[in-house]
Structure 1
Amino acid sequence: MAGWTLVKVALLSDCYPPRLGGIERQVHDLAHHLAAAGHEVEVFTATTGPHDERHGVRTVEEDGVVVHRMAIPLPIGLPVNPFAPREVRRRLEAGRFDVAHAHLGVVSPFATDLVRTALSAGLPVAATVHCVIDRSAPLFRLAGHLGRWARRGVALGAVSSMAAGRVRAAAGDVEVGVLNNGIDAAWWAPGPDVAPRDPAAGVHVVTAMRLVRRKRPLALLGALHEARRLLDPAVPLRATLAGEGPQRRAMEGYLRARGMGWVSMPGRLDREGLRALHHSGDVYVSTARLEAFGIAALEARAAGVPVVAPRGTGVDDVVTDGVDGLLAASDEGVAAAVARLAADADLRTGMREHLRTHPPRQDWAATVAATLAEYRRAGAPG
């Protein structure tokens, strides 16, 4: 990347593909976009490889990304290895790395251990928190490691402004940067192959999420039910909820009990399927309140769909209220916002035009540049 010194990066993460999840996907994509920009990237993870690689097996992915699979045999493939630090330190020292970058969730024993390992090896360290520190805040304050890291020069960061505020509260009076997740905005954007909308098909509300309590899928169904009640019966409304998880049965019961046959649940969709879903959508909706970032909302935004979501989550970094979506203070507000957009074709059209001409700033080129800036803040060459 022009203007930046090329660096050798060690990405430290409990989880990595083939495991599925937000951190896994972001670490993988960051590794490959850094490599595509000319940087050397090696990943250290406690996740078993696609062919059961573990015990420090070293594999090479496309773009030359090296992956050190430090997994050990544990029930259900838990990504934990308390024996890894000594060998990882040896590899970090032998590899002549310029910086280490740890990626942390609510529980990240492997990456947490490796922050200390990288510091003991004399490396500059960046540590990005991908979760919302909520009920676990007292434990983080009691452990005190975030504040200690910052005082040792670690560039502490989080994936959104809201998440960074929670990290700052848990770590004490220390600097916490914001490093948004990245996206291939051009890939998600609608192209000439996207068919024009058929007004007779009705307003299509879409969403994608894991069907788990933390994402509040039943609250989402409640908001859709209320939006339908608020909306003129003459306005046809349909909704598609993509995703799988343990809340599915309860959601199906909710839909049957309320006669919400206009809501479909096709299950988990791959990226191509999600892209097609968003391109058919008129409104994207979420009721999740513990969204550290909101990558699904960002994908919908990049696909040209106005977003409705609660205010005060990571989605605040993605959506400007009244410009490319609507942010609400409550579930009732989310329902009212969905009804408002469904009823106002001109408002939807204006937002879609803004989205078409203003792609999200979290494109991978900008995210890689912001990541390198974090490395410089940690003390790496820049």
Structure 2
Amino acid sequence: MRVAIVTESFLPQVNGVTGSVLKVCEHLRSEGHEALVVAPGPGPSRHGSVPVVRIASAPLPGYAEQRVAYPSWRLAQALRDFRPDVVHLAAPTVLGAQAATLARRAGVPAVAVYQTDLPGYAARYGWRGASQAVWRWLRRVHEMAARTLAPSRHACAELVAHGFPDVSRWPRGVDVQRFHPRFRDEEFRRDLAPRGELLVGYVGRLAREKELDLLREVHGVPGVRLVVAGDGPQRAHLQRVLPRARFLGMVHGAQVARVFASLDLFVHTGRHETFCQTAQEALASGVPVVAPAAGGLLDIVDPGVNGEFFTPGDGAQLQRVVGHLRQDTGARLELAGRARTSVAGRDWTSVGHDLVATYRAVSV
């Protein structure tokens, strides 16, 4: 098949949308399909053998790392020249809305992938009335697609409740070869925790919607060393409020797997996750996950089996959970022993085959 992937985010931006688009490209090429990526610029014009058409964009106010594409004739030209069988809309908002309109006019089916809880972010950032407006806009965009795919049961239910048609679940895979307990590095651990402290870490974007101020409660647990890997607009603030934490900045390649595998606990604090890929990567690395009982994390964390939940926004409860697992080594090791098994079978190949099956179904 010929698949045009129109995405709101792509390299050099690193986030969940970019990561899933890269995996889709990899799967399509490995199975002999043709792919084209259309994304906000600037950035490289190719990713491996996949051409990337860049659309002029501007930084998102308050979050310069994320860019928003302008409406552009280049998108129409790219779709016309490529002649896709299907258009894949990755987290469609602005560029995706234009692509959905063009695809519909051309009679080309589109598959819209819901990946980012923009209504939740709007509410979190205090934009009065914006959450419902965002829901209305997203519903209009997704109504132009032949199928909407959402990554978790919670996300599917939320979309259906807001009137989105033709919603199906399409979860995310995890690379169980890249993320593995064998990458645990004792020398790295000694550098981070020279007194043998319990290593508790977060890996991901440092942004307000992630509710990372809750890490102050973990920061205060005796015998715990907090490790933060990633970057974003809240980094300077977090470094002020977490003075004893180790900030690793952005990590790439093999270093990401080493960080995950070297942790004793992975903590995620944000409730607005449609899935939470980093939680899956931690589990594949043999690391239990402590997370809020909300959103896509409900599909990933199994309390008492591979991690524990805390009430969203409740820092005191988060502190109690981490404190208990620091003291009860046996319970923590039992969770760690079941972590990797809990994501067995969630490989990207199976997920990719399901996606192509959806492409074919809407193209009939």
Q: TM-score scaled to structure 1, two decimals?
A: 0.80
Q: CA deviation at 1:12?
A: 0.9
1:207 aligned onto 2:202: yes
Tell me, yes or no, if the aligned pair for 1:14 and 1:47 is still in contact at 8 Å.
no
Q: Distance in 1 between matches of 2:183 and 2:228?
A: 25
TM-aligned CA distance change 1:219 to 1:304, over 3 Å: same
Identity of aligned residues (%): 26
Tell me, yes or no, if the aligned pair for 2:263 and 2:287 is still in contact at 8 Å.
yes
Query: Which of residues 82, 105, 130 is equivalent to 1:120?
Result: 105
Q: Distance in 2 between matches of 1:348 and 1:368?
A: 33
SS in 2 for 1:188: coil
Query: Which of residues 5, 19, 41 is equivalent to 1:11?
Result: 5
SS in 1 for 2:178: helix
Q: CA deviation at 1:380?
A: 2.4
Gaps of 5+ in 1: 1-6, 51-58
Query: Which of residues 28, 34, 52 is equivalent to 2:22?
Result: 28
Question: 1:300 maps to what in 2?
Answer: 282
Aligned-pair Cα RMSD in Å: 2.8
SS in 2 for 1:350: helix
Question: 2:238 maps to what in 1?
Answer: 251
Question: 2:127 maps to what in 1?
Answer: none
TM-aligned CA distance change 1:220 to 1:73, over 3 Å: closer
Question: 1:219 maps to what in 2?
Answer: 214
Question: 2:352 maps to what in 1?
Answer: 368
1:188 aligned onto 2:179: yes
Tell me, yes or no, if the aligned pair for 2:292 and 2:310 is still in contact at 8 Å.
yes
Query: Which of residues 332, 335, 348 is equivalent to 1:348?
Result: 332
Q: Distance in 2 between matches of 1:218 and 1:249?
A: 12
Deviates more, 1:354-363 or 1:196-205: 196-205
Q: Distance in 1 between matches of 2:239 and 2:183?
A: 36
Tell me, yes or no, if the aligned pair for 1:10 and 1:41 is still in contact at 8 Å.
yes
Q: How many residues align?
A: 344
Aligned amino acid, residue 121 of structure 1? A
Q: TM-score scaled to structure 2, two decimals?
A: 0.84
Question: 2:126 maps to what in 1?
Answer: none
Q: CA deviation at 1:37?
A: 2.2
Tell me, yes or no, if the aligned pair for 2:272 and 2:294 is still in contact at 8 Å.
no
Q: Distance in 1 between matches of 2:283 and 2:30?
A: 25
Q: Distance in 1 between matches of 2:275 and 2:269?
A: 13
Q: Distance in 1 between matches of 2:57 and 2:201?
A: 40
Q: Distance in 2 between matches of 1:73 and 1:345?
A: 50
Question: 2:167 maps to what in 1?
Answer: 176
Question: 2:89 maps to what in 1?
Answer: 102
Query: Which of residues 131, 139, 142 is equivalent to 1:146?
Result: 139
Gaps of 5+ in 2: 124-129
Aligned amino acid, residue 47 of structure 2? E
TM-aligned CA distance change 1:95 to 1:331, over 3 Å: same
Q: Distance in 1 between matches of 2:205 and 2:232?
A: 6
Tell me, yes or no, if the aligned pair for 1:147 and 1:174 is still in contact at 8 Å.
no
TM-aligned CA distance change 1:111 to 1:149, over 3 Å: closer
Tell me, yes or no, if the aligned pair for 1:318 and 1:360 is still in contact at 8 Å.
no
TM-aligned CA distance change 1:324 to 1:252, over 3 Å: same
TM-aligned CA distance change 1:160 to 1:252, over 3 Å: same
Aligned amino acid, residue 291 of structure 1? E
Q: Distance in 2 between matches of 1:353 and 1:255?
A: 30
TM-aligned CA distance change 1:342 to 1:373, over 3 Å: farther
Query: Which of residues 71, 77, 83 is equivalent to 2:72?
Result: 83
Q: Distance in 2 between matches of 1:252 and 1:192?
A: 27
Q: What are the superposed Cα offsets for residues 75-103 of structure 1, whole Å, 9 maximum, x if unpaired?
A: 7794413123xx54454345342211101
Q: Distance in 1 between matches of 2:359 and 2:78?
A: 20
Q: What are the superposed Cα offsets for residues 219-251 of structure 1, whole Å, 9 maximum, x if unpaired?
A: 1222442xx2xxxx6xx3222122233333333
Larger Rg: 1
Question: 1:155 maps to what in 2?
Answer: 147
Question: 1:285 maps to what in 2?
Answer: 267
Tell me, yes or no, if the aligned pair for 1:98 and 1:124 is still in contact at 8 Å.
yes
TM-aligned CA distance change 1:169 to 1:271, over 3 Å: farther
